C-alpha cells in the first residue's frame, strides 16, 4: 500500500535524491489524496440528494488537486505546493462556511497550517507564514461570517455528531502526519550533524597524519636524489655514474608513484560518483595491459577469469583506481622463490551484489600486519617501497561505492583481496 501511494504521487520510475524532499513531497501528496477523496465523497452525496449547484465547485477543486499530483510526477514539487495548500484551504472553507460550526469542519484548517510548515523549508518560511495567515483568515470568515459559496446544509443532531466525528477523524491523523514529519526531519538533521562531526574529526586526524607523512615521504627521495647527483658529479667512472643514474630513476619513480597516490586520494574525496555501465572483464584487461611490461610483471602469469559479458552499473574511474592498486600490489609483492608466479582475477555473484577476487601466490601478509594494511600511510616494514596510501585509498573508494573489501592471506602462500560491490550502484 505504501509503495502504491508513493508511485501514485511521484511516479513509479521517478526518484527524489534528497530524503527530506522525498518526505515533504509524500506528505503533500497524502494531503492531496485525502482532499480528493473528500471531494469525491461529497460529490456523490450531493448527486444522490439531487443537489447539482455544488458539482462545478468540487470539480474545480479536484482538477486543481489532480494538477498538483501531475506536477509532482513531473518533478515540479514547489509549484505543486503552491497549488495544494491554497486549494486545501479553499476546500475546507467551502465546507466550514456552508455548515453549522458544530460539524467541526473548521478544525481541518489546523492540519493544513501544520502541513505548510512541514513541507516548506526554513528558507521558504515566509511562504509558510503567509499560508498560515490565509488559513486563519478563512477560518474567521467561515466561523463568524454569513457568506457561503455552497448552499447552507442543515443537519439533525445525530448528523452533526457524525460529521464532527468524521472531521475529527480526518484532522487528527493528518495533523499527526505533519508533526511526525517535523520530528523526523529534526531527527534526520541531528543524525546528519553527528555523522558530519564524526567525519570532520576523522578528516582532521587524517590531515595531521597526511601533512606529517607527505612532508617526510616527499623529502626522503628528493634528498636521496640530491645526494646521488653530488656523488655522480665528481665521479670519473662511467659505470658508477650509470649505477647512480639507475638509483635516481628508481627514486624518481617512487616519488611519482607517491604523487599519483596523493592525486587518487584527493580525487576520491572530491569527485562526484558517476554511475555508468562497466564491462568488468575489459576493465581488468586494460589494467593488466598497462602494467604487464614492468620488470616485476614479466615472470607473472595473469589469469583474467571474469566473464567477458559481465556488466555492472558503477563508477568506472573509481573501480579502475581500486583494481589498479590491488593488481599493482600483487605484482610488487610477488615471491621470487616460486617458479610459477600468478595473479588470478575471478568473481562470485551474490544476489544483488557481486565480488571480485584478486588472488596471488606472492609473499603473503602476516596476521598482525593484516589488521593494519588499510590504515593511512601504514607500511608493513621499513623496506616497504609503497606509499602507504594504496590500500587506504582502496578501502575509502570502495566505501564510497557502497561496497566492502576483505583480505585473506598466509605468509609465503599468497593473498586474496575480495571486493564486494552492488551490481547496480
Q: Assign 3-class secondary structure to the chain.
A: CHHHHHHHHHCCCCCCCCHHHHHHHHHHHHHHHHHHHHHHHHHHHHHHHCCCCCHHHHHHHHHHHHHHHHHHHCCCHHHHHHHHHHHHHHHHHHHHHHCCHHHCHHHHHHHHHHHHHHHCCHHHHHHHHHHHHHHHHHHHHHHHCCCCCCCCCCCCHHHHHHHHHHHHHHHHHHHHHHHHHHHHHHHHHHHHHHHHHHHHHHHHHHHHHHHHHHHHHHHHHHHHHHHHHHHHHCCCCHHHHHHHHHHHHHHHHHHHHHHHHHHHHHHHHHCCCCCEEEEHHHHHHHHHHHHCCCHHHCCEEEEECCCCCCEEEECHHHHHHHHHHHHHHHHHCCCCCCCCEEEEEEEEEECCEEEEEEEECCCCCCHHHHCCCCCCCCCCCCCCCCCCCHHHHHHHHHHHCCCEEEEEEECCCEEEEEEEEECEC
Q: Residue 371: what pLDDT?
A: 82
Q: Residue 138: what pLDDT?
A: 92
Nine cell digits for residue 345: 582475477
Q: Residue 72: what pLDDT?
A: 92
Nine cell digits for residue 92: 475546507
Q: CA 26, CA 8: separation in Å to the nearest integer?
A: 10
Q: Which of 375, 391, 381, 404 is nearest to 210 (CA)?
A: 375
425 residues of the chain, pLDDT tens digit each: 788 888 888 888 888 888 888 889 999 999 999 889 888 888 888 888 787 888 888 899 999 999 999 999 998 999 999 999 999 999 899 888 888 888 888 899 999 999 999 999 888 889 999 999 999 999 999 888 888 888 887 888 888 888 889 889 888 988 998 999 889 888 888 888 888 888 888 777 766 666 655 665 566 667 777 777 887 887 888 888 888 788 888 777 767 766 776 676 666 666 677 888 889 999 999 989 988 888 788 889 999 999 998 888 888 888 888 898 899 889 988 888 888 999 999 998 877 788 999 999 998 888 888 888 888 767 665 445 556 677 888 888 898 888 899 999 999 899 999 999 887 65
Q: Residue 238: what pLDDT?
A: 83
Q: Residue 32: what pLDDT?
A: 92
Q: Residue 379: what pLDDT?
A: 63
Tell me phi and psi for residue 120, to 5 degrees.
-85, 130
Q: Residue 146: what pLDDT?
A: 83
Exposure string (b/e) for 273-308, b if CB count within 10 Å is 16 or more?
Answer: eeeeebbbbebbbebbeebeeeeebeebebebebee
Q: Which of 280, 258, 425 is nearest to 358 (CA)?
A: 280
Q: CA 273, CA 402: separation in Å to the nearest integer?
A: 11
Beta-carbon neighbour count of residue 217 at 10 Å?
A: 20
Report whether 359 contacts 344 (CB < 8 A): yes
Report whether 307 contacts 354 (CB < 8 A): no
Q: Residue 329: what pLDDT?
A: 87
User: Which residue matches cell numbers 590491488?
Assistant: 326
Q: Residue 42: what pLDDT?
A: 81
Q: Domain 274-422, what architecture? A: 2-Layer Sandwich (3.30)
Nine cell digits for residue 285: 584487461
Q: CA 81, CA 24: separation in Å to the nearest integer?
A: 10
Nine cell digits for residue 64: 486543481
Q: Residue 350: what pLDDT?
A: 77
Domain range annotation of the chain: 2-197, 274-422
Q: Say which residues have a Cβ less than 8 Å from residue 128's Cβ, sequence separation at least 6.
A: 116, 117, 119, 120
Q: How many residues does the chain have?
A: 425
Q: Residue 381: what pLDDT?
A: 52
Amino acid at each position: 500500500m505504501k509503495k502504491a501511494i508513493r508511485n501514485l504521487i511521484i511516479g513509479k520510475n521517478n526518484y527524489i535524491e534528497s530524503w527530506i524532499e522525498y518526505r515533504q513531497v509524500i506528505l503533500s501528496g497524502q494531503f492531496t489524496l485525502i482532499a480528493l477523496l473528500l471531494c469525491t465523497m461529497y460529490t456523490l452525496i450531493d448527486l444522490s440528494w439531487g443537489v447539482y449547484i455544488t458539482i462545478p465547485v468540487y470539480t474545480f477543486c479536484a482538477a486543481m488537486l489532480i494538477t498538483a499530483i501531475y506536477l509532482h510526477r513531473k518533478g515540479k514539487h514547489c509549484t505543486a505546493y503552491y497549488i495544494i495548500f491554497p486549494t486545501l484551504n479553499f476546500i475546507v472553507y467551502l465546507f466550514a462556511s456552508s455548515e453549522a460550526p458544530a460539524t467541526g469542519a473548521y478544525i481541518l484548517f489546523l492540519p493544513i497550517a501544520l502541513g505548510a510548515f512541514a513541507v516548506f523549508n526554513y528558507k521558504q518560511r515566509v511562504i509558510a507564514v503567509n499560508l498560515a495567515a490565509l488559513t486563519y483568515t478563512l477560518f474567521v470568515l467561515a466561523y463568524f461570517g454569513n457568506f457561503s459559496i455552497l448552499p447552507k446544509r442543515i443537519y439533525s443532531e445525530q448528523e452533526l455528531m457524525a460529521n464532527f466525528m468524521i472531521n475529527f477523524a480526518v484532522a487528527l491523523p493528518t495533523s499527526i502526519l505533519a508533526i511526525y514529519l517535523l520530528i523526523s526531519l529534526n531527527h534526520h538533521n541531528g543524525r546528519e550533524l553527528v555523522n558530519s562531526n564524526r567525519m570532520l574529526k576523522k578528516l582532521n586526524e587524517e590531515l595531521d597524519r597526511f601533512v606529517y607523512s607527505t612532508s617526510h615521504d616527499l623529502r626522503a627521495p628528493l634528498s636521496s636524489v640530491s645526494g646521488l647527483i653530488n656523488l655522480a658529479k665528481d665521479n670519473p667512472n662511467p659505470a658508477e655514474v650509470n649505477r647512480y643514474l639507475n638509483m635516481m630513476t628508481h627514486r624518481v619513480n617512487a616519488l611519482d608513484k607517491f604523487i599519483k597516490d596523493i592525486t587518487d586520494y584527493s580525487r576520491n574525496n572530491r569527485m562526484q560518483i558517476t554511475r555508468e555501465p562497466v564491462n568488468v572483464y575489459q576493465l581488468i584487461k586494460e589494467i593488466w595491459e598497462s602494467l604487464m611490461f614492468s620488470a616485476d610483471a614479466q615472470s607473472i602469469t595473469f589469469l583474467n577469469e571474469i566473464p567477458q559479458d559481465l556488466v555492472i552499473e558503477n563508477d568506472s574511474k573509481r573501480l579502475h583506481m581500486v583494481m589498479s592498486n590491488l593488481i599493482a600490489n600483487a605484482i610488487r609483492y610477488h615471491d621470487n622463490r616460486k617458479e610459477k608466479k600468478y595473479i588470478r582475477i575471478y568473481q562470485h555473484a551474490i544476489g544483488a551484489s557481486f565480488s571480485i577476487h584478486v588472488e596471488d601466490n606472492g609473499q603473503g601478509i602476516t596476521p598482525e600486519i593484516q589488521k593494519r594494511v588499510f590504515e593511512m600511510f601504514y607500511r608493513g616494514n621499513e623496506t616497504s617501497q609503497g606509499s602507504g596510501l594504496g590500500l587506504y585509498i582502496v578501502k575509502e573508494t570502495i566505501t564510497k561505492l557502497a561496497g566492502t573489501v576483505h583480505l585473506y592471506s598466509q605468509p609465503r602462500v599468497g593473498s586474496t583481496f575480495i571486493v564486494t560491490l552492488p551490481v547496480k550502484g
